[in-house]
């Protein structure tokens, strides 16, 4: 079984207590190249986890900022996470809307295809820049060797595909 939002959130809380807002931030910065999350998934999941007693909620009142809820993992939650992390990994899933458009692009104009290339190239470049700037922040707080690999994987992926796109965009002119 794949680790879903449920298990991923437990994994983050297993390191230290967090608010939903912070969980989103971690997901967006450190794991965004292999997992995607939205508030619309995070808050409902936290609510369910609390109902299942896998996490506990501590409400903090703040005056200058909105009140917040800090979630802490329970022993039961740790057991669920521990089981999930020990399960075999399942197949990676890539969904590329760009490649889908390219696959069916016979009827599109060269200009339209060129535009799609440009946009995808810009996205990859932005992702590389984001990952690389993230690495600096990350190294400051200390980073495990294994997390460094998830980073290297992302960079390798974006770099290799960017090269293919740039070459293809050139021959599309």
Partner DNA sequence: TAACGCATGTAACAGGTTACATGATTTA
Partner DNA sequence: TAAATCATGTAACCTGTTACATGCGTTA
Instruction: Work out whether 71 is an interface residue with its own copies (CB under 8 A).
Output: no
Q: What are phi and psi of 59, to 5 degrees?
A: -85, 130
Q: Return the range that interacts with its own copies (CB under 8 A); candidates 42-50, 61-69, 95-103, 133-141.
A: 95-103
Q: Could you identify the residue written with the tokens 């997390």?
A: 147
What three-state secondary structure class fits 105? helix
Instruction: Work out whether 61 is an interface residue with its own copies (CB under 8 A).
Output: no
* Sites for its own copies among residues 107-166 (CB under 8 A): 107-108, 112-113, 116, 119-120, 123, 144-147, 149-150, 152-153, 156-157, 159-161, 163-165
DSSP for 124-146, written as a single string: HHHHHHHHHHHHHHHHHT---HH
* Sites for its own copies among residues 18-47 (CB under 8 A): 30-31, 33-36
Instruction: Work out whether 72 is an interface residue with its own copies (CB under 8 A).
Output: no
Query: Which one, 27 or 46, has the nearer CB to its own copies?
Result: 27
Q: Identify which of 47, 33, 44, 45 has the alpha carbon closest to the alpha carbon of residue 4.
A: 45
User: Among its own copies, DNA, none, what binds residue 62 when CB lies within 5 to 8 Å by partner kind?
Assistant: DNA
- Which two tokens mark 157? 């992926």
């Amino acid at each position: 079984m794949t680790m879903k939002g449920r298990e991923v959130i437990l994994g983050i809380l297993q390191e230290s207590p967090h608010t939903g807002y912070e969980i989103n931030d971690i997901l967006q910065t450190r794991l965004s190249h292999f997992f995607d999350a939205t508030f619309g998934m995070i808050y409902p999941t936290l609510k369910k986890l609390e109902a299942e007693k896998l996490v506990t909620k501590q409400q903090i009142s703040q005056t200058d900022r909105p009140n917040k809820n800090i979630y802490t993992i329970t022993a039961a939650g740790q057991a669920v996470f521990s089981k999930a992390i020990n399960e075999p990994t399942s197949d990676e899933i890539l969904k590329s809307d760009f490649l889908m458009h390219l696959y069916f692009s016979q009827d599109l104009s060269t200009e339209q295809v060129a535009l799609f290339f440009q946009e995808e190239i810009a996205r990859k470049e932005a992702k590389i820049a984001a990952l690389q700037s993230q690495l600096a922040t990350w190294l400051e707080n200390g980073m495990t060797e294994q997390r460094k690999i998830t980073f290297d994987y992302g960079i390798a992926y974006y770099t290799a595909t960017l090269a293919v796109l740039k070459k293809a965009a050139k021959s599309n002119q």
